Chains A and B, each alone.
Chain A
Amino acid sequence: MEIGLNHYLVLSTILFAIGLVGVMRRKNLLLLFFATEILLNSVNIAFAAISHFYGDLTGQMFAFFVIAIAASEVAVGLGLLIVWHKRHGNIDLDTLSTMKG
């Protein structure tokens, strides 16, 4: 059975849905970051598959930039998370609902 573009797009959708479920049900901010990584990775699969099946390298380029953005997001996000943890002693999402200093 031939593996076509649709197979990869369906797989990407399933992974994206798993990431959305994670974003919806997680309370811990670190695990919320894990869910966003899953979202970014699922999109990367779709980019690479479209790049392969249309013979165009633009998809791979965008996947590279997505990876770069994910790396910088992790660096800044973890820094902010460490500052928050020093101040409040936990990283639950509910404590973030007020942003007063």
Chain B
Amino acid sequence: MFEAIAFYLFAFLTISMFFIAVTTSQALYALTALAAGMIFISAFFFILGADFLGAIQIVVYSGAVMALYAFGMMFFDTTREVKEKQGNKYIVVGLSTIAAVLVVLIFAAPLVSNNITALYPVIEGAGNTQEVGMVLFTKYLIPFEVAAVMLLVAMIAGIVLAGKKMDLSITLMNDAEINEIKTEQTKKVLS
């Protein structure tokens, strides 16, 4: 009973927040609604017993990703109203058809999946975090390391693209201009 009430409450809240995020014309409202929706989604993870995933959802999405978006919004002119796309009708019809087929497949999927057995069954007597650690560092160790390398690459890419000389734009200059800046800097250091 409690689970049903929590599920419907958070389903309503999440759907309304994400609906606001995709329909509003103010970028700040969209950002705030998206952050609220992310936190509400973590409630589903807690209901489903995936406590660690819920905590990660709050930390990564509401903390890191939303902070990055808020940081990015400072660069862009987001105060004016966002223009909407006048959509191509064929694309809209095609994507709607794909979405409808997706719904049918999701309803039909449990019918054919009765013989599914757990590959890595839940370990008895261990908390969710402990189970996750056991599976992640035995069966999924290599994907975990690859994900770590991917995050490192993404971090370096972000720093290189956005970090250098925020007032100037190194990526748009030619080599002569960059050398000019470098010589100016060395002059300042020497003098």
Residue of A nearest to B46 (CB): A48
A78 touches B69 (CB 8 A): yes
Residue of A nearest to B38 (CB): A41
**Chain B residues positioned under 8 Å from A9 (CB to CB):** 106-107, 109-110
Give the number of residues in B that approach A within 8 Å (Cβ atoms). 82
Residue of B nearest to A11 (CB): B11
B22 touches A56 (CB 8 A): no
Identify A83's interface contact among B11, B22, B171, CB under 8 A: B171
Any A CB within 8 A of the CB of B118: yes
B69 touches A30 (CB 8 A): yes
Band of interface residues on A = 35 or more
**Chain A residues positioned under 8 Å from B53 (CB to CB):** 44, 48, 60, 63-64
Q: Describe B's contact surface by its main secondary structure.
A: helix
B135 touches A37 (CB 8 A): no
A82 touches B72 (CB 8 A): yes
**Chain A residues positioned under 8 Å from B34 (CB to CB):** 34, 37-38
Any A CB within 8 A of the CB of B68: yes
Bound form: Cα–Cα A80–B50 in Å: 34
Residue of B nearest to A52 (CB): B48
Query: Contacts A3-B3, A17-B99, A56-B120 known; A78 to B68 CB distance under 8 Å?
Result: yes
B22 touches A22 (CB 8 A): yes
Any A CB within 8 A of the CB of B157: yes
Identify B85's interface contact among A19, A25, A34, CB under 8 A: A25
B147 touches A65 (CB 8 A): yes
A3 touches B135 (CB 8 A): no
B15 touches A34 (CB 8 A): no
Minimum distance in angstroms from A73 CB to a CB of chain B = 8
Bound form: Cα–Cα A1–B30 in Å: 34
A75 touches B50 (CB 8 A): no
Most chain-B CB neighbours within 10 Å: which of A2, A31, A44?
A: A31
A24 touches B122 (CB 8 A): no
Minimum distance in angstroms from A37 CB to a CB of chain B = 6
Bound form: Cα–Cα A9–B61 in Å: 21
**Chain B residues positioned under 8 Å from A93 (CB to CB):** 85
6 pairs of A and B residues whose beta carbons are closest in the complex: A79-B161, A72-B154, A22-B22, A56-B118, A75-B158, A52-B48
Question: 10 other contacts beyond A8-B44, A56-B122, with CB at 8 A cut-off?
Answer: A8-B48, A17-B99, A25-B85, A26-B84, A30-B72, A31-B22, A52-B48, A57-B122, A58-B119, A76-B158
What are 23 residue pairs bridging A and B, where the CB atoms are less than 8 Å apart in the complex?
Answer: A3-B3, A3-B7, A10-B106, A11-B11, A15-B14, A24-B85, A27-B83, A33-B69, A35-B21, A41-B38, A44-B41, A49-B48, A56-B119, A56-B122, A57-B122, A60-B53, A64-B132, A71-B64, A72-B154, A75-B158, A79-B160, A79-B162, A82-B75
